[in-house]
Amino acid sequence: MLLSFVQGPADVALKYQTIGRAFDETAHRFALREALVVPDQQVRWTYTELKRHVDLLAGGLLCLGLSKGDRIGIWAPNCAEWTVTQFASAKLGLILVNINPAYRTSELEFCLKKVGCRALIMAEKLKSSEYLAMLRVLAPEIDACAPGQLDSARLPQLKLVICLGPVKSRGCLSFEELLQQGTATDRARLDQLADDLQPDDAINIQFTSGTTGLPKGATLSHYNILNNGYFVGRGIGLSEQDRICIPVPLYHCFGMVMGNLAAITHGAAMIYPSESFDPVKTLQTVDKERTTAIYGVPTMFIAELATPEFDRYDLSSLRTGIMAGAPCPVEIMKRVISEMNVSQITNCYGMTETSPVSFQSAIDDSFERRVSTVGRVHPHVQVKVVDLQGRCVPRGTQGEIHTRGYSVMKGYWEDPDRTREVLDDAGWMHTGDLGVIDGQGYGNVTGRLKDLVIRGGENVYPREVEEFLYRHPKVQAAQVCGVPDAKFGEEVCAWIQLKPDVSCTEAELREFCQNQIAHYKIPRYIRFVTEFPLTITGKVQKFAMRERMTLELGLSEQKTA
């Protein structure tokens, strides 16, 4: 009997190297090749120019007294400064804390406190998000303090706030000024400091929501994410000749690992079409910059294909790319291949806690394999599928996906109990995802053990939304589930029990959520009910909620790979 256990090839060695060392090697090897292009910022830097900005920022951060192990948050959209910060912090051994640009005050406060950020690099605003105004709610002391000397009652560990943009704000340091603060002596120390850093050191914290209702900080090392980025890039055949269109967010593994780290480990160019996803700008950028690769979650590709005058854009330069972050509709994969010229597009599966990719289809896989599976297991990674008793099941049998190898996180930041829930003594990461491995070793993700809702590539854990809805004075009980959606894959649905003798409207609840939780977590569908479907032991049957709403709304489940 062939069991559902697979392990990736080991013909190419893992890189036991820090991100800073890898970046410098690439910058030396491909000095005059374009490294970073951000049209909206008029940025077009070679690897030499990018390295100069990285070293200037590293010197400035060193001058401020930051040192190995300090946590530095970044709360900003896709921009050149994000990437400069990513590599500058890695050179100093600072732990970069990715903060979702959609977060609001309560989420920002939790993240900064949870990991004890000493510094925060932030944009002033993005669209309707007034970042500085939100920070002032949490730390009003910033208006009266000297730059770099914040003393906040609610954020006691945060001392340094660094703002992007041309306008200098009270109590904040300017990013541009910081580039000039480091001395020649500070920058000369970078090589010396590099010798003290180790590949196994923590270098990145990414927040992922959990069943407890509060985000958990998945802690990743140089070794984790540098290698994953390298093998993702290798999987799509990257070289120094490639130019990657990266419309996916940098705060997520898709952008900073599969995008930036895949690029720098192969000498490719990173190209950001816009601060946040814009289908027209993405297509324009592919056309004007002659990009050879494009990334996106399914909803991004759907929006691009639906763009008016789609046919006017010349996409003939495209060769490869990645669709991931959510279940990939088979028909959309087919259209991307045929209509966008991405003949070698691949499908990936993984999770933040595994750096993120565990499975990836190959550019030379058959058409059917590439559109209907998540490919084979990644190099140096092991995956098994187990039953409810933890026993490995035969090939072709559904069970929970477990992953082991170099890519598995160090753990959740200062949360050993939650870490033990998902990471066992043998090193297996229990993903909570249901899947099947076929006789040839190809994987398919078939569902989730947990109630995770994936809306347009964003993970929404119902418990987190429920906990917030409980704060409303009229809400007695709340249950949240996902329902199918043609555009986003899934949408958030909330069933609400009100307290006795009160009335409430859907609009009132949505207004309560506005500017308090990220927009993608706000329920699209709200139903006021008197009871929930329960098991005999009193547990809520969320699958029954989903089925009832799917029928009531006339929705249909999306066929996915």
Q: What is the pLDDT of residues 7-35, one digit of tens each?
A: 999 999 999 999 999 999 999 999 999 99
Prediction pTM value: 0.86
What is the radius of gyration, based on Cα positions, of the chain? Answer: 23
Sheet architecture: strand order including 475-485 = 475-485, 489-498, 525-528
Q: Give the C-alpha separation, 147 to 161, whole Å.
A: 8
Please name the residue ranges forming H helices in 97-252: 105-115, 131-138, 175-181, 184-194, 222-235
**Higher-confidence residue: 270 or 107?**
270
Q: Which amino acid is at 408?
A: V
What is the per-residue pLDDT for 447?
67
Mean of all residue pLDDT scores within the chain: 93
Return the minimum-mean-pLDDT range out of 44-53, 94-103, 154-163, 530-539.
Answer: 530-539
Q: What is the pLDDT of residue 213?
A: 56
> Does the pLDDT value for residue 561 go beyond 70?
no
d(CA 307, CA 332): 14
Tens digit of pLDDT for each residue in 239-266? Answer: 999 999 999 999 999 999 999 999 999 9
pLDDT score at 7: 98
Report all structural domains of the chain as residue ranges with CATH numbers, in order of start. 18-33+41-198 (3.40.50.980), 222-414+428-450 (3.40.50.12780), 453-553 (3.30.300.30)
Chain CA centroid to CA 239, Å: 24
Q: Which of 174-183, 205-214, 308-317, 419-428 has the lowest mean pLDDT?
A: 205-214
Residue in 144, 490, 492 with CA at minimum distance from that of residue 479: 492
What pLDDT score was predicted for residue 535? 52
DSSP assignment of 286-338: HHHHT-SEEEE-HHHHHHHHTSTTGGGS--TT--EEEE-SS--BHHHHHHHHH
Q: Give the percent of the chain with pLDDT over 90.
A: 78
Alpha-carbon gap, residue 158 to 156, rounded angstroms: 6
pLDDT at 156: 97
Q: Is the pLDDT of residue 128 over 50?
A: yes
Q: What are phi and psi of 51, to 5 degrees?
A: -60, -40
What contacts 425, CB < 8 A, 6 or more positions away? none
What is the predicted pLDDT for the residue at 537? 41
Q: 96-100, 206-210, 235-239, 393-397: which range is least confident on average? A: 206-210
Name the token pair of 293.
């690769």
pLDDT bracket for residue 211 (50, 70, 90): very low
pLDDT exceeds cutoff 80 at 86: yes
